[in-house]
C-alpha cells in the first residue's frame, strides 16, 4: 500500500527538519524522511565538533517554529562582538552588537541541538510524520505526484517532494538536476579547544595564508575552532598528537586567547563551492546544501538553508490557502527566483573573500588591509555589512522577520 502525503521532505538535518516543521505548522500533511535516527539527548560534555553560527534571521525562524526554547534549554552561546584581522598586515574589522538594536550579533549552537529541538517540535504537530531510519532509494513521477521507494520497501507518494538531503543530494541526481562547482582543495578542520584567556563572547577570525582560523565562543567557556587549511595540511594536522596540535594552533592564533590548553576530537570537512543549476522541477524543489554549498568562512551555509526553508514553506502554505494545486510550477518558480539570487550573491562574496586572503603579494596585501580598515571606519558601510551578516536584509520570508506564515 502507498502512504499518501501532501509533501514529503527528504533529509532531516537542520534545513529539512525546519522545512517540515514550518509546513506542519501550516496544516500541510507532511512526511519527513531521515536515514539516521537523530540524537535527542547526550551528556553535557563534550561539546560536539559540528557547531554553527546562527544569524538573527535564523533565530527568528527557529523561534516562530517553536524550536528556540528547546535549543536554549540544551545550550546556545550568544556572541556579542566579532573581530576579524589579517595575519599579514594591520587590516582589522570589529563588529559590536552595541552598534545594533540587539543584545547579540548571533548565537553559536551545536548542529545536533538545532536538529533535536526541531524534531521535538515535529513530534507535537499532528500533520507531521517523521520516519527514521528511512532512506530513499528510488523516485518516480506519475499522474498524482511523485512516488518514493524506501530501502525497506515502503512506498510513499506526495504532491510535492522537497530534497534537503545535503550537498551530495541523491534526489537531486535522481531528478537529473546538474550542479556547477569546484573543490577548494581546502578542508575545514574543526575541534573544541580550551584557551587560557576568556573568549569574551566574541567570534575571533584571523586570516592566514592557507585560510581563516576562527575561534567561536561556546557556552561552557571553550571555543569551537573552524580552521581552513589546504587538504594536505589538514590531513597532517589531524595526525598530530594533541600537544603538537595545540602548539601549531597557538602559533596560528597570534596569541589572541593566550595559551591553548586542551583540545577534544578533531575532524576535517572537504570544502566545495557548488550550486544546483535549477532549484525546482515538476513537483520537486531543492533546499539547503542540496541546492548550494558555500565556503564556511562567514558561517552562512545553514543560515541560507533556513531562509530557503522559510521561503518555500511560505509559498506552499499560501498556494494551499488559495486552493491552488501543489502540482503548479508557478509558486516553485517563484521560490527559485526568490532564493537563488540571494544565495548566489552570498556564495560569490564568500568565494571572493577566500581568494582575496590567499594572495600573499605585498601590494595586494596592503590594498586589502586598507580596504578592511576603510570599512571599519565608515560607519554606514560597516552597518550594512553587519546587517547582512546577521541575515537582516530586504525581502526576507515572513518567518525570518519574526512573523508566522500560516
Ligand atoms: C567546517 C564547517 C563549518 C560550518 N559552519 C557553519 C556556520 O557557522 N554557520 C552556518 O550557517 N553554516 C555553517 N556550515 C554549513 C552547514 O553545516 C551546512 O550548510 C548545513 O549543515 C546544511 O544543512 P542541510 O540540512 O541542508 O544538510 P545536511 O546537514 O547535510 O543534512 C542532510 C540530511 O539528509 C539526510 N539524507 C541524505 N540522503 C538521504 C536519503 N537518501 N534518504 C534519507 N535521508 C537522507 C542526511 O542523513 C542528513 O541528515 C559549516 C560547514 C562546515 C563544513
What pLDDT score was predicted for residue 41?
A: 94
391 lines ligand 1 (CB under 6 A): no
How many domains does the structure of the chain reveal? 1
Selected residue with higher pLDDT from 355 and 198: 198
User: For residue 84, is it within any domain?
Assistant: yes
Domain that includes residue 165, residue range: 2-181+272-401
211 lines ligand 1 (CB under 6 A): no
What pLDDT score was predicted for residue 302?
A: 98
What pLDDT score was predicted for residue 259?
A: 98
Q: How confident is the model at residue 358 (pLDDT cuts 50, 70, 90)?
A: confident
49 lines ligand 1 (CB under 6 A): no
- Residue for grid cell 580596504: 371
What pLDDT score was predicted for residue 112?
A: 98
| SS3 state at 153 | coil
Whether residue 321 is predicted with pLDDT greater than 90 in this model: the reply is yes
Whether residue 353 is predicted with pLDDT greater than 90 in this model: the reply is no
Buried/exposed 257-283: b ≥16 CB within 10 Å, e otherwise? beebeebbebebbebbbbbbebbbbeb
User: For residue 161, is it within any domain?
Assistant: yes
| SS3 state at 5 | strand
User: For residue 280, is it within any domain?
Assistant: yes
135 lines ligand 1 (CB under 6 A): yes
Which run of H or of E encompasses 7?
Answer: strand 2-10
217 lines ligand 1 (CB under 6 A): no
User: For residue 226, is it within any domain?
Assistant: no
Longest pairwise C-alpha distance within the chain: 68
Q: How confident is the model at residue 196 (pLDDT cuts 50, 70, 90)?
A: very high
Cross-strand bridge partners of residue 266: none
What pLDDT score was predicted for residue 45?
A: 87
Q: How confident is the model at residue 336 (pLDDT cuts 50, 70, 90)?
A: very high
Atom of ligand 1 nearest to the CA of 58: 11
User: For residue 262, is it within any domain?
Assistant: no
Q: How confident is the model at residue 359 (pLDDT cuts 50, 70, 90)?
A: confident
| SS3 state at 320 | helix
Mutate-to-test residue for ligand 1 from 20, 21, 32, 35, highest number of ligand atoms within 8 A of CB: 35
The alpha carbon dihedral of 312, 289, 133, 151 has a sign of positive
User: For residue 305, is it within any domain?
Assistant: yes
**Spatial separation of the C-alpha atoms in residues 200 and 104, rounded to whole Å:** 12
Q: How confident is the model at residue 375 (pLDDT cuts 50, 70, 90)?
A: confident
**Spatial separation of the C-alpha atoms in residues 406 and 403, rounded to whole Å:** 9
What pLDDT score was predicted for residue 91?
A: 87
Whether residue 387 is predicted with pLDDT greater than 90 in this model: the reply is no
Mutate-to-test residue for ligand 1 from 11, 226, 339, highest number of ligand atoms within 8 A of CB: 11
What pLDDT score was predicted for residue 226?
A: 98
**Spatial separation of the C-alpha atoms in residues 147 and 126, rounded to whole Å:** 23
User: For residue 208, is it within any domain?
Assistant: no
26 lines ligand 1 (CB under 6 A): no
Q: Summarize the confidence of residues 212-234 as an average pLDDT.
A: 97
309 lines ligand 1 (CB under 6 A): no
For the segment 265-282, what is each residue's pLDDT rounded down to a tens digit?
Answer: 999 999 999 999 999 999
**Spatial separation of the C-alpha atoms in residues 341 and 326, rounded to whole Å:** 23
Q: How confident is the model at residue 238 (pLDDT cuts 50, 70, 90)?
A: very high
Asked whether 38 and 118 are in contact (CB, 8 A), the reply is no
| Average pLDDT score, the chain | 95
Asked whether 212 and 206 are in contact (CB, 8 A), the reply is yes
CA distances from 116 to 40, 56, 61, 211, 385 (A): 5, 20, 15, 32, 31
Atom of ligand 1 nearest to the CA of 134: 43
Distance 258 CA to ligand 1 centre (A): 32
What pLDDT score was predicted for residue 84?
A: 93
Distance 391 CA to ligand 1 centre (A): 18
What pLDDT score was predicted for residue 96?
A: 92
Least confident of 89-93, 232-236, 290-294, 310-314: 89-93
Asked whether 108 and 79 are in contact (CB, 8 A), the reply is yes
User: For residue 259, is it within any domain?
Assistant: no
Task: Take atom 20 of ligand 1 and give the residue whose Cα is closest.
Answer: 302
Asked whether 5 and 31 are in contact (CB, 8 A), the reply is yes
384 lines ligand 1 (CB under 6 A): no
Distance 295 CA to ligand 1 centre (A): 13
Q: How confident is the model at residue 110 (pLDDT cuts 50, 70, 90)?
A: very high
Distance 13 CA to ligand 1 centre (A): 6
What pLDDT score was predicted for residue 15?
A: 98
Mutate-to-test residue for ligand 1 from 274, 285, 289, highest number of ligand atoms within 8 A of CB: 289
For the segment 114-143, what is each residue's pLDDT rounded down to a tens digit?
Answer: 999 999 999 999 999 999 999 999 999 999
What pLDDT score was predicted for residue 373?
A: 86
Whether residue 355 is predicted with pLDDT greater than 90 in this model: the reply is no
- Counting every residue, how long is the chain? 406
Whether residue 377 is predicted with pLDDT greater than 90 in this model: the reply is no
CA distances from 145 to 10, 73, 148, 176 (A): 15, 40, 10, 17
Least confident of 51-60, 93-102, 309-318, 327-336: 93-102
405 lines ligand 1 (CB under 6 A): no
Q: CATH number for the domain including 290?
A: 3.50.50.60
Amino acid at each position: 500500500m502507498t502512504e499518501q502525503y501532501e509533501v514529503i521532505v527528504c533529509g532531516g538535518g537542520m534545513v529539512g527538519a525546519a522545512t517540515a516543521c514550518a509546513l506542519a505548522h501550516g496544516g500541510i500533511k507532511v512526511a519527513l524522511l531521515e536515514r539516521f535516527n537523530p540524537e535527542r539527548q547526550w551528556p553535557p560534555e563534550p561539546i560536539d565538533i559540528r557547531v554553527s553560527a546562527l544569524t538573527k534571521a535564523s533565530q527568528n525562524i527557529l523561534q516562530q517554529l517553536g524550536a528556540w526554547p528547546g535549543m536554549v534549554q540544551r545550550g546556545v552561546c550568544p556572541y556579542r562582538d566579532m573581530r576579524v584581522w589579517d595575519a599579514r598586515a594591520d587590516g582589522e574589522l570589529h563588529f559590536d552588537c552595541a552598534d545594533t538594536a540587539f543584545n547579540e550579533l548571533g548565537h553559536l549552537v551545536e548542529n545536533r541541538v538545532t536538529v533535536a529541538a526541531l524534531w521535538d517540535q515535529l513530534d507535537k504537530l499532528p500533520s507531521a510524520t517523521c520516519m527514521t531510519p528511512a532512506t530513499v532509494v528510488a523516485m518516480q513521477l506519475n499522474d498524482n505526484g511523485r512516488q518514493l521507494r524506501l530501502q525497506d520497501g515502503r512506498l510513499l507518494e506526495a504532491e510535492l517532494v522537497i530534497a534537503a538531503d545535503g550537498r551530495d543530494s541523491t534526489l537531486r541526481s535522481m531528478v537529473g538536476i546538474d550542479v556547477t562547482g569546484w573543490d577548494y582543495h581546502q578542508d575545514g578542520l574543526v575541534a573544541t579547544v580550551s584557551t587560557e584567556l576568556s573568549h569574551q563572547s566574541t567570534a575571533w577570525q584571523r586570516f592566514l595564508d592557507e585560510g581563516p582560523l576562527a575561534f567561536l565562543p561556546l557556552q561552557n567557556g571553550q571555543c569551537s575552532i573552524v580552521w581552513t587549511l589546504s587538504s594536505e595540511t589538514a590531513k597532517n594536522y589531524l595526525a598530530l598528537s594533541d600537544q603538537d596540535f595545540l602548539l601549531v594552533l597557538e602559533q596560528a592564533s597570534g596569541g589572541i586567547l593566550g595559551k591553548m590548553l586542551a583540545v577534544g576530537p578533531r575532524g576535517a570537512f572537504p570544502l566545495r563551492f557548488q550550486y544546483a543549476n535549477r532549484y525546482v522541477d515538476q513537483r520537486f524543489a531543492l533546499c539547503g546544501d542540496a541546492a548550494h554549498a558555500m565556503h564556511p568562512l562567514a558561517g552562512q551555509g545553514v543560515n541560507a538553508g533556513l531562509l530557503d526553508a522559510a521561503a518555500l514553506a511560505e509559498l506552499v502554505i499560501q498556494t494551499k490557502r488559495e486552493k491552488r494545486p501543489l502540482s503548479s510550477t508557478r509558486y516553485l518558480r517563484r521560490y527559485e527566483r526568490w532564493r537563488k539570487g540571494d544565495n548566489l550573491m552570498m556564495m560569490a562574496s564568500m568565494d571572493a573573500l577566500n581568494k582575496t586572503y590567499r594572495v600573499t603579494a605585498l601590494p595586494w596585501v596592503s590594498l586589502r588591509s586598507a580596504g578592511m580598515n576603510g570599512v571599519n571606519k565608515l560607519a554606514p558601510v560597516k552597518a550594512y555589512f553587519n546587517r547582512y551578516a546577521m541575515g537582516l536584509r530586504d525581502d526576507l520570508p515572513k518567518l525570518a522577520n519574526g512573523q508566522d506564515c500560516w
